């Protein structure tokens, strides 16, 4: 399949529990059908717990295009299930951060996203895995986990993407430093033993946290993981780093560790939960790897996000 319009049968799966998901199923299915996509089934779920069963059903039913509406956690889980099946993933950004959509240059507006999907092209992107669990944007330990734990549904509904800034301030005040060890099974880097850490992250895509960039060069189809580690520092230094998060240039600050690899093992003291695209899904020690070209996904015709496609 080279374009979404080439699909034989499409299924629409919408997480109605996402911030913008309540009215999306009917609206999206109507727009997609008017645009000529063969939407044969519409599934509305109220929580992520229903997602595995619905995805099994739509794959078994033989749909060659599965359009998923929800936040980054919902879409990442779906990508992990569809990877390797030949089924193409379509994305409707209905969450709070919608960082995958930002990376793929999918419009934030639902109507525009549906139009871009109907007219879109199919490209291949990489899938990250942490202890086998899939992620598309970033996996991380430390401050970001505190942010995720602070982000209540009420805060996200009331503030939208601004909720991340509020949650970050609250999480920073409660953060406890940790030790980290980065091991590289392929021998492409020396082992790093790090003290007094604020955050360690492993990026597959380009964006995370409501529009921050993993690094200036990070891409979702470059077949590498971007690893960065931010140490503890005075508040004024962390504020300087925070101002550079949007373009990823914080990785060039003195004291910040940044490297690229295809596999890395992270061990922390104490053991810590790992945040995968906004969901706490596993814990350290964690083995990270990249699945090259694992996900077929629809992007707008003018998107440059997958310039290394294939």
What amino acid positions are annotated as catalytic residues? 279
CA dihedral 20, 126, 219, 278 (to 10 degrees): 40
- Do 229 and 200 contact (CB within 8 A), yes or no? yes
Within 8 A by CB and 6+ apart from 144, the residues are 138, 199, 201, 209, 275
DSSP 96: S
- Do 219 and 206 contact (CB within 8 A), yes or no? yes
Output the DSSP codes for 227-289.
EEEEE---HHHHHHHHTTTTTTGGGGSTT-EEEEESEEEEEEES--EEEETTEEEEESSEEEE
Alpha-carbon distance values, 284 to 25, 179, 182, 246, 310 (Å): 37, 12, 11, 27, 32
Tokens 């992270």 identify what position? 266
């Amino acid at each position: 399949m080279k374009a979404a319009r080439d699909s034989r049968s499409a299924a629409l799966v919408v997480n109605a529990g996402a911030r913008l998901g309540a009215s999306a199923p009917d609206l999206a299915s109507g727009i997609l059908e008017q645009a000529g996509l063969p939407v044969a089934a519409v599934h509305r779920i109220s929580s992520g717990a229903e997602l595995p069963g619905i995805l099994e059903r739509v794959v078994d039913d033989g749909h060659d295009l599965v359009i998923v509406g929800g936040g980054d956690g919902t879409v990442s889980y779906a990508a992990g299930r569809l990877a390797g099946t030949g089924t193409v993933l379509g994305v409707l950004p209905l969450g709070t951060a919608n960082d995958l959509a930002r990376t793929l240059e999918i419009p934030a507006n639902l109507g525009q996203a549906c139009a871009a999907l109907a007219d879109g092209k199919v490209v291949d992107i990489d899938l990250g895995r942490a202890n086998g669990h899939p992620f598309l944007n970033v996996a991380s330990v430390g401050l970001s986990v505190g942010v995720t734990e602070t982000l209540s549904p009420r805060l996200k509904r009331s503030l939208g993407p601004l909720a991340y800034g509020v949650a970050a301030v609250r999480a920073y005040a409660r953060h406890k430093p940790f030790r980290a060890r980065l091991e590289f099974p392929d021998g492409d880097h020396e082992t790093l033993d790090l003290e007094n850490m604020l955050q360690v992250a492993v990026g597959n895509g380009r964006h995370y946290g409501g529009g921050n960039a993993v690094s200036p060069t990070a891409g979702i189809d470059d077949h590498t993981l971007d690893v960065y580690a931010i140490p503890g520092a005075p508040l004024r230094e962390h504020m300087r780093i925070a101002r550079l998060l949007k373009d990823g240039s914080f990785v060039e600050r003195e004291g910040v560790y940044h490297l690229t690899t295809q596999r890395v093992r992270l061990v922390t003291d104490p053991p810590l939960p790992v945040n995968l695209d906004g969901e706490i899904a596993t814990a350290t020690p964690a083995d990270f790897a990249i699945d090259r070209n694992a996900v077929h996904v629809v992007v707008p015709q003018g998107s440059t996000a997958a310039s290394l496609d294939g």
